[in-house]
Amino acid sequence: MDLEMVKYLAELGKLKFTDEELEKVGEDMTSIIELMDKVKEIDVVYDPYLDNKNIFLNDLREDKNAKSLDTQKLLSNAKNQQNCFVVPKVVE
* Degrees to nearest 5, angle at CA 43 with 37 and 47: 135
Kindly report the average pLDDT of the chain as a whole number.
83
Q: Do residues 18 and 25 make contact, with C-beta atoms less than 8 angstroms apart?
A: no
Region 13-20 average pLDDT: 92
**pLDDT for 50-90, tens place per residue?**
776 666 667 777 888 988 888 888 777 666 656 666 677 78
* Degrees to nearest 5, angle at CA 13 with 41 and 37: 5
Burial profile 43-57: b = 16 or more Cβ within 10 angstroms, e = fewer? eeeeeeeeeeeeeee
Q: Do residues 22 and 10 make contact, with C-beta atoms less than 8 angstroms apart?
A: yes
pTM comes to 0.46
